[in-house]
Structure 1
Amino acid sequence: MIICETERLILREYEKEDIAALHTIFSDEETMSYYPAPFSYEKTQQWVESNQKRYVRDGFGLWAVCLKESGDLIGDCGLVKQTVEGETEVEIGYHIHKNYWSKGYASEAARACKKYGFRELGLKKLISIIDPRNIPSMRVAEKIGFMKEKEAFVFNKQHLIFSEARESVYQL
């Protein structure tokens, strides 16, 4: 099911057939350098299944990011409920295959997810949880209008929390 489209991308729900293509991204050491370790094939399969459950439970999750031109899966981006300092927040998360870095795809996908979260889901605030060493991810957050809000201990280590409130984007 297609969630949204941009000029160059289609964001759609994961399908079982996406696991192999996604694994080429999640098994790469450079791509996963801010995670505890690259993913095994089984962990990638669990990732897809977990997001499919989120679609049913939450109405959203991380979605496959595919090139409109070819249909190739180049990453994922979407909305995920996270707990930050005891509060439930909705995060825009993104992972793009390193062969497609520095081409604006992460920003394009994240901007589409921001619009979807605010306009379609009526969310009041969105965040991104970013490792303090991950400068490219911070740039993506800033390009879509997020600002550094605070530091927080999430996923067993310190992270930066970038965010934006709906009021700052859309008049209610």
Structure 2
Amino acid sequence: MQSYEFTSERLGFRTWKTSDFPKLLEMNTHQEVMRYFPTIQTAIQCREFIERMKTHYLQHGYCYFAVEELATEEFIGFIGLSLQTYDIDFNPSTDIGWRLLPNYWGKGYATEGAKACLNYGFKELNLKEIVSVAPTVNLPSLAVMKKIGMVKVKDFKHPLLTAYPELETCSLFAIQA
């Protein structure tokens, strides 16, 4: 039986394990999963991500959590919260984000998981506001933001995406406790 930080109806949220690496690599090298990101990720980047999330969790009590389907205990991707500090007028901020393996798309998992993370952020961590950012072309993620009750604040040029004109214009959504 897996130990989770918290659960939703169908999902379990936990910190990262080294054994998550193969599935994370599969997800982060999948062209369709990564279509709204500058590049697919390397094995080194995936290992660094896991270590970064472990450290982030220890420092802040949250991260982009590894997520499992409760019925199967299969890793399906990540959904969670991350402190953002890149240079823009709304940072520092706590971002909510998600990325799922394609087999788990279209099942409402991103929405269900994001709602559970909002609840965790507001009720357990006492956060006052949570934001989400995605390229304006990423309609699936923008739809999830709306489904979980977030409101669009503005569109902006993402300072970390200036080399990728098709992704540079992003939407900022926010929700308050």
What TM-score range do you get, normalising by the shorter chain?
Answer: over 0.9
What CA deviation, in whole Å up to 9, does each residue of 1:68-108 have, x standing for no partner? 01110011011101134262010001001111111100001
SS at 1:29 equivalent: coil
Instruction: List gaps (5 residues or longer) in structure 1.
Output: 167-172
Q: Which residue of the other structure, out of 99, 102, 105, is the alignment partner of 1:101?
A: 105
With normalisation by structure 2, the TM-score equals: 0.90
Question: Does residue 21 of structure 2 align to residue 10 of structure 1?
Answer: no
Matches within 5 A, 1:45-124: 45-83=47-85, 84-85=88-89, 87-124=91-128
User: How many corresponding residue pairs?
Assistant: 166
With normalisation by structure 1, the TM-score equals: 0.92
Instruction: List gaps (5 residues or longer) in structure 2.
Output: 162-167
Same amino acid, percent of matched pairs: 31
SS at 1:85 equivalent: coil
State the distance in 1 between where 2:103 and 2:72 align.
15
Partner of 2:148: 144
Task: Tell me if the contact between 1:10 and 1:68 (Cα under 8 Å) persists in the aligned partners.
Answer: yes
Indicate the structure with greater strand content: 1
Output the aligned Cα RMSD: 1.2
Question: Does residue 131 of structure 2 align to residue 127 of structure 1?
Answer: yes
Question: Does residue 170 of structure 2 align to residue 159 of structure 1?
Answer: yes
